[in-house]
Amino acid sequence: TEYAVMREGDTERAFTSPLNDETRAGTFICKGCDQPLYDAATKFKSGTGWPSFFAPLDDAVETMPDKGFFTTRTEVHCDRCGGHLGHVFMGEGFTPTNARHCINSISMKFVPAE
């Protein structure tokens, strides 16, 4: 559910959202507070099953360590409302920023460009 993902840090099932296939120009915004998060121009097909971006908008997200049983990942959340968005993976080498923001689409809405 949205609450479980955005407030408890869960992850939605891969390949379950139409935002994964969204290709129009526009902006992805936080479902919790409508803050703009990612420009659609930074979205790319990662094949992971979640919308992936190589960079957030300025002053849109914050990160923090997310310690799991076997690994530590970097959690991404909205810097306005604190809603959990997903994780960022660094050093993968196939994006202009060397980063992949793997974002739960249940945490976002898409606003097409006018």
**Whole-number CA gyration radius for the chain:** 13
Q: What is the 3-state secondary structure (H, E, C) of 45-110?
A: CCCCCCCEECCCCCCCEEEEEEECCCCEEEEEEECCCCCEEEEEEECCCCCCCCEEEEECHHHEEE
Active-site residues, by number, are 102
